[in-house]
Chain A
Amino acid sequence: MQLVISAFMLFALAGCAVQGMQDHSHHHAGHETHFEPHYSESLFKVTENKLFSVEMLLKQGNLTVGSNGVDIIIHGQGNKDVEDATIMVTPWMPEHGHGVREESVVTERGAGLYSVDNVNLTMAGLWELTVVISAAGKKDQAVFSFPGVKLERMAGHNGKHASHAAHGGHGKPRHEINLAKSVLSERKLFQVSYAASPATVPLNRIHTWEIGLQDKEGKPVTGATIKVDGDMPEHGHGLPTKPKVTKEKRPGLYIIEGMKFTMPGWWTVTFYLDTEQGTDSVTFNLDLK
């Protein structure tokens, strides 16, 4: 164990040293903007060619294995808010030399704020998030590093904490995970529910789900485009199939075909919802036996 501790400490220090050097290398160029953080809790970085500053706020307080959300605030020359930028956030595991398959979803919120969802980290360990910014014909990037990404993660989206021992056995009572089949979406735009057929989600059999989508007034939300993603937060791999919405059976009731789970344990299923009332996402937890 001793060895592991020192290895991590080394990384932490090395990370800081590199960062320190970057931050103090300002004096090379003459008339650059002196960027400053605007939020006290944010992680702050100036991009490699000093064109932008990037502040990152972790929506769940930290990054964990599974799907994460971050808010990014971008400032440009003269410390001005950068709007209409194209932002790409790419996770990378430098020690393992691999990234992830899923792309993050970026939504511009105005005044230099960009909301990034589906930052999908597939395993515990050291991760880097590279933020590439293109705005007004200029492109630059900053790399944030997160040495100790863990398996632990927030339950459902109700803010209750699911404490998961990394190697806890199967079949542990998972009282703290929200297994509800009807929940409020992430941005609270919709009430979303699912019903699997057969009702008990089966292991190793392809089957169908129905998704009910309602707005805050309880009215069905029609014509939504829905994308499906599944994950095992403790293992870091997705569904063995590519499920698709095949039809809207009734207003606000969508049929999803091709659902399949091939491992017992804790699964999350996330739906990305694109509707006339706005885009949102919702995540359900399942404990499969």
Chain B
Amino acid sequence: MYKRIIPIVLSVVLLAPGYSFAVHPDVHSWSNEEIALIRSLWLGSLHPLPDDPSNAYDTDTQAIAFGKKLFADSRLSANGKVSCATCHIPDKTFTDNLPVAHGMDDTTRRSMPLAGMAYSPWLFWDGRTDSLWAQALGPIESPVEHGISRTKCVIIISNHYQQEYEQIFGPIPELDKTYKETARPAPDNPEIQSQWEAVSVEDRKAITLLYANIGKAIAAFVRTIVHEASPFDEYAEALFNGDIDRAKTVLTADQAFGLKLFISKAKCINCHNGPLFTNNDFHNVGVPARKGYDPDMGRAEGINLVQANEFNCLGRLSDAGPDDCAELKYIDTDTEKYHGAFKTPSLRNVADRPPYMHAGQLKNLHEVLKFYQNEARKRSAPGNNGFGTDIVHGDITDEDIDYLIAFLRTLSGPIKSY
């Protein structure tokens, strides 16, 4: 043992990296490898908008138009004031700039931006739904968000949207007048649950079908919310065309150097990768719970919730075929691995939408980068870090922080929707 230990210890010392990162004399010249990485981030590399196999209506133009109306309709709430657009404001990159969202009451997490979400296999910070339509049905029945029930949805749709609905989905069920408007499945609320059980089995099915259909219409609209080119994309295009002079007019040297850091030393590209700057996967980067809030298990809970979700890809109301739903079929069920892990947010338009992280814990980009700097330093200190944080990048200096922020600002472009 004695003989073995010494050479191993010495080799650790010799291998310890120095992290020297000299500023390149010309930040606008890139190696082929770097160009390949820049191409992987370029919006032009995004594959065509996927068609969700679990939603037969998601490319139907009538459904898209209907979904757009529902998205902004505050009649779909207990106080008549809350719609999807309350928390996902179209002019604010479909989010609300609040640390934690507020509907009927305060929620425990921050509203998420919506652009490009049709590309994500999992929705919500913990990925507890696996399609945009299953996702849309969450807030409507959540007491702190829209605060209504699926039974109430039947009433609202037949009062205000009968024709539109029936043209797409067929007849609206006639409901027995004795049913309570608040009836919905609510295992945690015995009173509401018993109201739901008072509904006949057949009507429960018909109500839930209508509910799923309005989810599918809303999802058809949300799917159309996409990013358009940002200065970064213009820069990338200029590089691909070999037009360095043009490239220099699009990004400053500081911004280009920030890009270099992003794809190399700072390793942001490990998770914020692909044309949407997200792998749509779950990581614990070590953000502490919001002050005064319980610790959030994140994906560790989402794994069980999505498998139990009645509207998931393998469920009765899904339109998917037997060969679909690969993500759900091969889901990683290792809850320990995903303890405190949250979905990697897209960084497109990120500078426009503070505050940051799943409960708005960090006020601005500077705080975010300071956080990453500290997390990495904690990690490289000997014996001084716990299990869980996935941050592995090299040391980020205070100057690097400024460059990285300068680069993140080049990711803002227009957001388009139907």
User: Interface of A with B (CB < 8 Å)?
Assistant: 1, 3-5, 7-9, 12, 15-16, 19, 43-44, 62, 95-98, 101, 125-126, 146-148, 150, 152, 165-167, 169-173, 203-204, 206, 234-235, 237-244, 257-258, 260, 262-265, 289
**A204 and B336 within 8 A (CB):** no
Q: Is the CB of A169 within 8 A of B326?
A: no
* Across-interface contacts of B36 in A (CB, < 8 A): 171, 289
With A7-B383, A206-B121 known to touch, is A169 a contact of B265 (CB < 8 Å)?
yes
- Distance (Å) between the CB of A188 and the closest chain B CB? 28
A235-B379 Cα distance, complex, nearest whole Å: 12
**Would you call A171 and B8 a contact (CB within 8 A)?**
no
Q: How many residues of B contact A (CB 8 A)?
A: 53
- Interface of A, helix, strand, loop or mixed by DSSP: loop
Q: Which residues of B contact A126 (CB under 8 A)?
A: 383
Within residues 11 to 47 of chain B, which ones have a CB less than 8 A from any CB in chain A? 11-13, 15-17, 19, 31, 33-34, 36-37, 40
- CA–CA, A154 to B331, complex, Å? 30
Chain A residues with CB under 8 A of B329: 257-258
B residues near A (Cβ < 8 Å) are 1-2, 4-6, 8-9, 11-13, 15-17, 19, 31, 33-34, 36-37, 40, 121, 263-265, 267, 269-271, 273-274, 279-282, 326-327, 329-334, 336-337, 382-383, 385-387, 390, 392-394
- 11 A–B contacts from the bound complex (CB under 8 Å): A7-B383, A19-B2, A96-B385, A147-B12, A148-B8, A150-B15, A203-B279, A204-B280, A235-B392, A237-B337, A258-B326
User: Given A235-B392, A242-B332: A150 and B12 within 8 A (CB)?
Assistant: yes
Which residues in A have their C-beta under 8 angstroms from that of B5?
12, 15-16, 147
**Bound CA span A252–B334, Å:** 30
Give Cα A183–Cα B216 distance, bound, in whole angstroms. Answer: 47
Apart from A8-B13, A146-B8, A167-B265: 13 A-B pairs, beta carbons within 8 A = A3-B382, A4-B13, A5-B13, A43-B1, A96-B387, A150-B15, A165-B15, A170-B269, A171-B33, A203-B274, A204-B280, A234-B392, A264-B270
In the complex, the chain A residue whose C-beta lies closest to that of B4 is A43
Tell me whether B273 and A241 are in contact (CB under 8 A): no
Q: A43-B4, A96-B385 are in contact. Are A289 and B37 (CB under 8 A)?
A: yes
CB neighbours (8 Å) of A8 from chain B are: 9, 12-13, 382
**B336 in contact with A101 (CB, 8 Å):** yes
Inter-subunit contact A96/B383 (CB<8 Å): yes
What is the total of A-B residue contacts with beta carbons within 8 Å? 144
The smallest C-beta distance from A98 to any residue of chain B, in angstroms, reads: 4
B334 with A101: CB separation less than 8 A: yes
> A172 near B1 (CB under 8 angstroms)?
no
Return B276 CB to nearest CB of chain A, in Å: 9
Q: Which residues of A contact B327 (CB under 8 A)?
A: 206, 241
Closest chain-B Cβ to A125's Cβ sits at a distance in Å of 8
Chain A CB within 10 Å, residue with most, of B31, B121, B265, B393:
B121
Inter-subunit contact A167/B274 (CB<8 Å): no
| A8-B9, A15-B5 known; A170-B37 Cβ under 8 A | yes
Q: Please, how many angstroms separate the alpha-carbon atoms of A254 and B66 in the complex?
A: 45
- Given known A-B contacts A8-B12, A170-B269, A203-B274, A16 and B331 have beta carbons under 8 A apart: no
- Least CB distance, A163 to chain B, in whole angstroms: 10
Q: Is the CB of A148 within 8 A of B40?
A: no
Q: Which of B9, B17, B33, B273 lies in contact with A173, CB distance below 8 A?
A: B33
Contact flag A148-B33 (CB < 8 Å), given A257-B330, A264-B270? no
Contact A171 B34 (CB under 8 A): yes
Q: Which residue of A lies closest to B386 (CB)?
A: A96
A203 vs B2: C-alpha distance when bound (angstroms): 45
B347 to chain A, nearest CB (A): 15
Give chain B nearest CB distance to A205 CB in angstroms: 8
